[in-house]
Amino acid sequence: MAADPSSTVAETRSTTAAAEQAGKGSLAPVAGEGRLVSLDTFRGFVMFMIAAGGGDVIRTLLSLKPNVLFHALFVEMDHSIWAGLHFWDCIWPSFMLMVGMSIPFSFAKRSRTQSYPKMLGHAVKRFAVIFLLGTVQGSISFTHHLEWYGELSGVLQPIAIAYLVAFLLARKRQWIQAAVGGAILAANGLILAFVSAPGVPAGSYEQMVNIERYVDLRVLGTTYAYGNTFGEGATVLCMGYSIPITILGLLIGEWLMSARSKENKVKMIAGAGLLCLAVGYALSPIVPVIFKLVTASFVLVSAGWASLMFLFFYWIIDVRGHQWWTLPLVVIGCNSIFIYMFPVFVPMYQIVSIFTQGVVVASAPLRQLLNFAVVLVVQWLLLFWMYRHKILIKV
């Protein structure tokens, strides 16, 4: 059963009190009621990877000093071209997992002062705003002017859909939540395995021949860009496949808010993550792990790795109590939606290059690294100012 709101944040309150005590007279991160420092830190880590340029920085380092290490890092910091899993493929699932984890905390906090219809209205409004922001971000980033962006499997649109579904499941028993996630995952596998179309045999996972691409071309008139490793993938049939990852996050959030011991919570999260990995990799010879098709094996494997990544932060921060190092990431995590959208409207690299072009550097790659570093510092200082003044941009 979903966590009882009356006993939801007993542990969180004690964690908050300890954090407040530790943070007096210092810049130690302090979790507000209903917040986990580990969750904000994990969110900050994911956003830092995006804000830092990810593969762009590694590509620049590789051009400066080609070596095996930089090449391996570069491969992991880019999406898989097709089958297989890279670290960067787990960034989007990590977002989905964190969305689900946040819902029980937010639900419990709001339920003390709001009726369910009012909470539902807020959830629907939030769904609409996040979806619209995704449309704005996608259209400006890829077409450089505001228009309806056809590739809906970016980051924010699936988050919006999965968030609303997970919110509607928040009051249901956990077995129901898990069953819904499993049913959606099964539907994914069954459609790809047994549905055919003209020129597309059932069970095809080829780049140019698969049912998801066929549906995209018929419904949207477009599909993912081949030869572009950044292409997010198919859209129409993929939109709902982020839901199972978000439901897993919902379950983890409810476990975290329960009265179980922290050690027991660690075991449950570890068990869920390892189970997802085991089942996903077991399926992979039959159902390939393909990010751009969001196959069932990809959902399971990426959700498993995302869960274990979060578990590392939870174990270090909330179980072992080592919070002293988290502030730089918490500052980013507390305003993740702001820093995600900020570069869409403010061309930071172009602005920074105006001020750094007079700096003498040995090569163009070094100048690019300088620009990366300055942009990152400026963005972090802005986020730190917002953090110190308790300015949290929410939707």
Q: Give domain status of residue 74, yes or no.
A: no
The pLDDT mean for the chain works out to 83
For residue 72, give every residue at least 6 positions away whose Cβ sits within 8 Å of its Cβ, in sequence order, or none: none
Q: Give domain status of residue 13, yes or no.
A: yes
CA quadruple 323, 329, 332, 336: dihedral sign: negative
- Give the residue among 358, 380, 381, 356 at the shortest CA–CA distance from 370: 356
CA pair distance 123, 167, nearest whole angstrom: 7
Q: Give domain status of residue 201, yes or no.
A: yes
Please provide the DSSP assignment of 296-332 as one string: HHHHHHHHHHHHHHHHHHHIIIIIS---TT-HHHHHH
Predicted pLDDT at 35? 66
Q: Is the predicted pLDDT of residue 6 greater than 60, yes or no? A: no
Locus of tokens 């979060």: 310
Highest mean pLDDT among 193-207, 272-286, 369-383: 272-286
Q: Is the predicted pLDDT of residue 365 greater than 50, yes or no? A: yes
Amino acid at 174: Q
Q: Give domain status of residue 297, yes or no.
A: yes
Q: Give domain status of residue 97, yes or no.
A: yes
pTM as predicted = 0.85
Q: Is the predicted pLDDT of residue 228 greater than 50, yes or no? A: no
Contacts 24+ apart (CB under 8 A), 8-13: 8/34, 8/104, 8/105, 8/108, 8/257, 9/33, 9/34, 9/105, 9/108, 9/109, 9/257, 10/259, 11/256, 11/257, 11/259, 11/262, 12/36, 12/105, 12/257
For residue 130, give every residue at least 6 positions away whose Cβ sits within 8 Å of its Cβ, in sequence order, or none: 156, 157, 159, 160, 163, 395
Q: Of all residues in the chain, what percent carry a pLDDT higher than 90?
A: 51
Tell me the two tokens of residue 248: 């897993």
Query: Mean pLDDT over residues 342-361, rounded?
Result: 78
Per residue in 64-117, pLDDT (tens digit) is: 788 888 888 888 888 888 899 999 999 989 989 999 999 999 999 999 999 999
Contacts 24+ apart (CB under 8 A), 189-196: 189/283, 189/287, 189/295, 189/296, 191/237, 192/287, 192/293, 192/295, 192/296, 193/287
Give 143's Cβ-side CA count (13 Å radius). Answer: 12
Locus of tokens 């986020």: 383
Type and span of the H or E element at 184: helix 174-194
CA pair distance 141, 134, nearest whole angstrom: 10
Q: Give domain status of residue 36, yes or no.
A: yes
Residue 319 near residue 263 (C-beta atoms within 8 A): yes
Q: Give domain status of residue 226, yes or no.
A: yes
The three-class DSSP label of residue 232 is: coil
Tell me the two tokens of residue 260: 């179980």
Locus of tokens 């699932």: 93
Burial of 246-281, coded b for 16+ CB within 10 Å and e otherwise, reads bbbbbbbbbbbbbeeeeeebbebbeebbeebbebbe
Per residue in 111-135, pLDDT (tens digit) is: 999 999 999 999 999 999 988 888 7
For residue 272, list its beta bridge partners. none
For residue 83, list its beta bridge partners. 290
The three-class DSSP label of residue 254 is: helix
User: The domain containing residue 157 runs over which residues?
Assistant: 5-50+82-338
Domain count for the chain, please give it: 1
Predicted pLDDT at 241? 78
Predicted pLDDT at 158? 85
Maximum distance among all alpha carbons in the chain?
Answer: 68
Per residue in 317-330, pLDDT (tens digit) is: 999 999 999 999 99
CA pair distance 301, 278, nearest whole angstrom: 8
Q: Give domain status of residue 392, yes or no.
A: no
The values of phi and psi at residue 12, to 5°, are -65, -40
CA pair distance 137, 310, nearest whole angstrom: 26
CA pair distance 295, 180, nearest whole angstrom: 17
Query: Mean pLDDT over residues 356-367, rounded?
Result: 71
